[in-house]
Amino acid sequence: MTSTEDTDRDTGGRAGDSAWDVAERALEASRADGCVVVVDAEDAAQSRWAANGVTTAGLVRDRRVTVVAFVAGRRGTATAATSRHGDPAEDVARLVADAERAALESPTSPDTMPLITPAEAGHDTGHEAGSEAAGGLPEQDGAEWLTAFGGGLKAAFARAREEGNQLFGYAEQVVRTTYLATSAGVRLRHRQREGLIDLTARDAKDELASAWSGVPLPSTGRFDSGAALACLREDLAQRIRWARRRVELPEGDYEVLLSPSCVADLLLHVYQAMDARDALEGASPFATPDGTPRLGERLTAPGLTLRSDPALPGLECAPFALVRTPGGDMSVFDNGFPLHPTRWLDDGVLTALVQTRHTAAACGLPPTPRIGNLVLDGPANSPANGVARGASLGEMVANTRRGVLVNSLWYLRPTDPRTLALTGSTRDGVYLVEHGEVVGAVDDFRFSERIVRMLERVTEIGRSVPALAREWDDGLSRTSVPPLRIADVAIRTTR
């Protein structure tokens, strides 16, 4: 497979050149055995700030077209962003030709399968099937959102200056519409909102006193970005007050409280490693060395359930497979495959791996493609009369005799994919807790852990909340996870 990419940015649409027009034009131009076209149209509002002042703010409109061509069991991909210059028909024809040339120059695809039919995708031939998360469209367009958010940011700056702090960060709201069209007759569309607020606070006089927090924007429903920003700032102000008291922490093994952000960062590595193909090759913690998947085995502490569902309220995502780039644990042949609720871990037991149709056939299991959200539940998170139970992070701190509270993780890197060993460090907030109170901040520390083994040592599962994984905030932001209490974490200084 060969890929070509152009990064020109589309600053406006053209009459008679809708996303469906582009997709149909590409399919008409294709002479390959099969063709898949994905058009992504994106409207984003973005803002950055530093030292209590806005540095940039603006609106961005992108439209990117991806064409995947299939020739005699080979595949090729070409991607380009549309622009206002040039002839649309010539641009699309050139893109299709690039994809077909890449297919001819590529080896046979190991995951070759027939393209999904409209019946398999769940809609009638010749009819577009659209999906849009209920209430998913924002109540404000990008310009209105920027104006409203700017007002909240101005108030946050004023409060931070009063407290002797400086704020740094980034926020965005994105409305993305994706169109999928294939030579097999599939026509699917999905539209949703996503975005985030990423905020760091620093003491204006003490460079060691800093704290970070972030929140994802929900896919649906009303979201008051100004109120969310105020809550983040207030939480960070408390953490800065903690950080102004420094205490020494000898190296050793400690009980550790991980914030939801930390848990999200670690679990996204777990989710990424749940590749059935790697398991079949014995290069995964979810299989024996001879390639036998460990389905049905307990891998974590009891009570942990890891799941995905395209229809989860506030975390809605595309209800069908969207694959733009061949390789990994996703197959371009599966584009349009309907996605259903999937439990990856159930009460700590491995119940599913990420399966393409090809790997599912090899395993003798139903296909379970990757889904665009992730939830970790504990037994205390089962709703009772519509209200989630389980302790908040603050309540878990209050119930801690002696332990370490970790706010966020940084520079996580895998060191052994067979065991899912990661190395990394903490950043912007590590605190010593004694007798239910934070007594001060301690130095950041490095750690090296086998994450699945680490989940065996979970002793308390808090209340699941939407969480922003700091190292993944430009990737999968639709996560809901609890804080976790973990025993015997080795703490080593970063110095």
The verdict on 210 and 336 lying in the same domain is no
Q: What is the pLDDT of residues 169-221, one digit of tens each?
A: 999 999 999 999 999 999 999 998 889 999 999 999 988 899 999 999 988 77
Is residue 87 predicted with pLDDT exceeding 70?
Answer: no
Indicate whether 229 and 269 sit together in one domain: no
Q: What is the pLDDT of residue 3?
A: 32
Q: Are 441 and 406 in contact (CB under 8 A)?
A: no
Among the residue ranges 99-103, 241-245, 470-474, the one predicted with the least confidence is 470-474
CA dihedral over 53, 440, 390, 381, signed as positive or negative: positive
Residue 214 is predicted with a pLDDT of 94
In the predicted model, is pLDDT for residue 42 greater than 80?
A: yes
322 φ/ψ sector (left φ>0, alpha ψ -120 to 50, else beta): beta
pLDDT in the model for residue 10: 33
Among residues of the chain, what percentage have pLDDT more than 70? Answer: 88
Torsion of CA 278, 284, 290, 293, to 10 degrees: -80
pLDDT bracket for residue 380 (50, 70, 90): low
- Judge if 357 and 302 occupy the same domain: yes
* 36 and 178 fall within a common domain: yes
Whether 382 has a pLDDT exceeding 90, the answer reads no
179 and 323 part of one domain: no
Residue, of 78 and 84, whose pLDDT is higher: 78
* pLDDT, mean over the chain: 88
Residue of 109, 107, 83 whose CA lies nearest to 95: 83
Give the three-state DSSP class for 280: helix
Same domain, 275 and 169: no
Give the CATH number for residue 230.
3.30.2290.10
Task: Work out the average pLDDT over 400-405.
Answer: 97
Same domain, 200 and 157: yes
**Domain end (from 208, 243, 278):** 243
Confidence of residue 80 (pLDDT cuts 50, 70, 90): confident
- pLDDT greater at residue 474 or residue 34: 34
Q: For residue 210, give every residue at least 6 positions away whose Cβ sits within 8 Å of its Cβ, in sequence order, or none.
A: 200, 201, 202, 203, 240, 243, 428, 429
Q: pTM for the whole thing? A: 0.90
- Higher pLDDT pick, 406 / 329: 406
Domain shared by 273 and 215, yes or no: no
Are residues 379 and 442 part of one domain? yes
pLDDT tens digits, residue range 444-469? 999 999 999 999 999 999 999 999 99
Please give the residue range of the domain that contains residue 330.
252-493
Looking at the fold, whether 292 and 332 belong to one and the same domain comes out as: yes
* pLDDT(66) > 90: yes
Contacts with 177 (C-beta within 8 Å, 6 or more apart), sequence order = 19, 40, 41, 42, 189, 190, 191
Amino acid found at 400: T
Share of the chain above pLDDT 90, in %: 73
111 plus 225 within the same structural domain: yes
Instruction: Tell me the pLDDT band of 140, cut-offs 50, 70 and 90.
Output: low
The answer to whether residues 153 and 86 touch, using CB atoms and an 8 Å cutoff, is no
The pLDDT of residue 152 is above 70: yes
Q: Which of 5-14, 84-93, 128-137, 268-277 is predicted least confidently?
A: 5-14
Among 224, 243, 262, the domain boundary falls at 243
Mean pLDDT to the nearest integer, 339-361: 95
Confidence band for 241, pLDDT divided at 50, 70 and 90: very high
Q: Give the total number of structural domains in the chain.
A: 2
Among 220, 243, 266, identify where a domain stops: 243
Which residue in 376, 133, 120, 420 sits closest to 274, CA to CA? 420
Both 273 and 403 in one domain: the answer is yes
